[in-house]
Structure 1
Amino acid sequence: MIDLKGYTTFVFDFDGTLADTLPICFESFRRVFRKYNQEELADDEIEARFGPSETGVIQNYVKPPEKADEALRLFYTIYQQEHDRLARTQDDVVQLLAQLKESGKNIAVVTGKGRKSYDFSVDKLSLTPYIDLSIAGDEVNDHKPHGEGIVRVLEYFDCPPEQAVYFGDSNADILAADHAGIVSVGVNWFDERSFDVQPDYMSQTPKDILI
């Protein structure tokens, strides 16, 4: 068990942390790169391009570059059409968020997703009521592993770093928490993820978290 009773602000990554949305991201990018780049990419090859929002990934990699806007529209079309089939959350995640809400904790999301795909997913998965603040990947100057998004959350809630914790499923998440000076929790809530950097805590299920 991970005792986080003393913390006031709980910040979460989204894809792979609050929701199992990596499959829909992979499928959407795969079909975009197949059409425009004639590439057939595996999940890990797509994930290696993550960092910026979907807009940044497509602008960085789609060929020719003048097709980026068209490719982004295709990405969103696929994302929305396939969402019900390929995206989910779990009851234990919802229960944790509900407990945090009932306890009066600040709840925020700092995600690399763009605002459009984040809003679509958080609404479709009925998570919106639990989240007080969200910062998307196309709303920061420096994406994770930079700590900008987390620092902005701390400023918004007037929260000292020692009272905040960040949950994520990737090395970039753990590094972002470290750069922002807050505690990190690496999560394996959906898939078993390996970390090259050491989080302060590791959680296999939301039931690990004591608040």
Structure 2
Amino acid sequence: MGLQAYSEAKALIFDLDGTLSNSLPVHLATWQQVGDVYHFHFNPQIMLEMTGRATIDFARRIVEENNLQADPADLVKLKQQAFWDSANLLEPINEVIDIVKANYRKLPMAVGTGASRKSTEVQLKQLGIGHFFDAIVTANDVTLHKPNPDTFLKCAELMGVSPAECQVFEDGVLGIEAAKTAGMMITDVRPFINYGEWIHS
């Protein structure tokens, strides 16, 4: 059986990167661009381990692991600008977006992401799907990011639905952990999606 909304779900929450947006190859390429500037090799394994966290967390880890004499905030600025400039390369994950379209105006829906507000808006605009959602919670909207449950709990609050009645669609280990902690129904989208050349396994 394919991806579907559970009959008992009263609201749906979707992660963005790797769930609605096949953005991970673009993130990988733009982190590699940052590596070219700061002279480090970006390890793709970091993305598998940290998908869902804010970009500043990636930057701090990169600075530490590579012993860089650099401010992580500067890496973030360069990375985000490169990503925004590459928005035309983003592709939708249609298997998940079909769920969104099928439930539009039937159930309240939200995006709960570790991406910044601007990166979220850039992606939703590029994919033409922003109008489907009743609430959008980004890294700018909570203090504690995934694997903490705050992102998803904020989505539930904004939609006026109890956490136990929310179904979360996620591809990231940290996001799945956050949804579990929030007491929500969880759908791991990875078994249903063809990521092409991406490194998911």
TM-score, structure 2 normalization: 0.83
Question: Which of 106, 109, 117 is the aligned partner of 2:108?
Answer: 106
* SS at structure 2 position matched to 1:93: helix
Contact 2:48–2:172 (8 Å) recurs in 1:
no
After superposition, the C-alpha distances for 1:114-158 in whole angstroms (9 at most, x for unaligned) are 112111111111111111111112322211111111111222222
Structure-2 change in CA distance of 1:45 and 1:149 (3 Å): closer
Contact 1:30–1:46 (8 Å) recurs in 2:
no
Question: Which of 46, 52, 64 is the aligned partner of 2:69?
Answer: 64
> 2:83 corresponds to which residue?
79
Q: CA deviation at 1:46?
A: 4.3
Contact 2:51–2:173 (8 Å) recurs in 1:
no
* SS at structure 2 position matched to 1:40: coil
* SS at structure 2 position matched to 1:109: strand
Cα distance in 1 for residues equivalent to 2:48 and 2:82: 18
Contact 2:16–2:113 (8 Å) recurs in 1:
yes
Query: 2:128 is aligned with what amino acid?
Result: S
> 1:160 corresponds to which residue?
162
Percent identity, aligned pairs only?
A: 21
Contact 2:168–2:186 (8 Å) recurs in 1:
yes
* SS at structure 2 position matched to 1:102: coil
**C-alpha RMSD of matched pairs (Å):** 2.2
Question: Which of 160, 177, 180 is the aligned partner of 1:178?
Answer: 180
Cα distance in 2 for residues equivalent to 1:30 and 1:167: 28
Cα distance in 1 for residues equivalent to 2:19 and 2:51: 15
Cα distance in 2 for residues equivalent to 1:185 and 1:91: 16
Contact 1:55–1:114 (8 Å) recurs in 2:
no
> 1:131 corresponds to which residue?
133
Structure-2 change in CA distance of 1:5 and 1:14 (3 Å): same
Structure 1, unaligned runs of 5 or more: 195-211
After superposition, the C-alpha distances for 1:81-109 in whole angstroms (9 at most, x for unaligned) are 32223x20044433321211132x11111
After superposition, the C-alpha distances for 1:23-67 in whole angstroms (9 at most, x for unaligned) are 11111122213322x21123213444545312342255343244x
Cα distance in 2 for residues equivalent to 1:64 and 1:51: 26
TM-score, structure 1 normalization: 0.79
Query: Aligned pairs, how many?
Result: 190
Cα distance in 1 for residues equivalent to 2:49 and 2:95: 29
> 1:208 corresponds to which residue?
none
Contact 2:115–2:138 (8 Å) recurs in 1:
yes
Contact 1:11–1:108 (8 Å) recurs in 2:
yes
Structure 2, unaligned runs of 5 or more: none
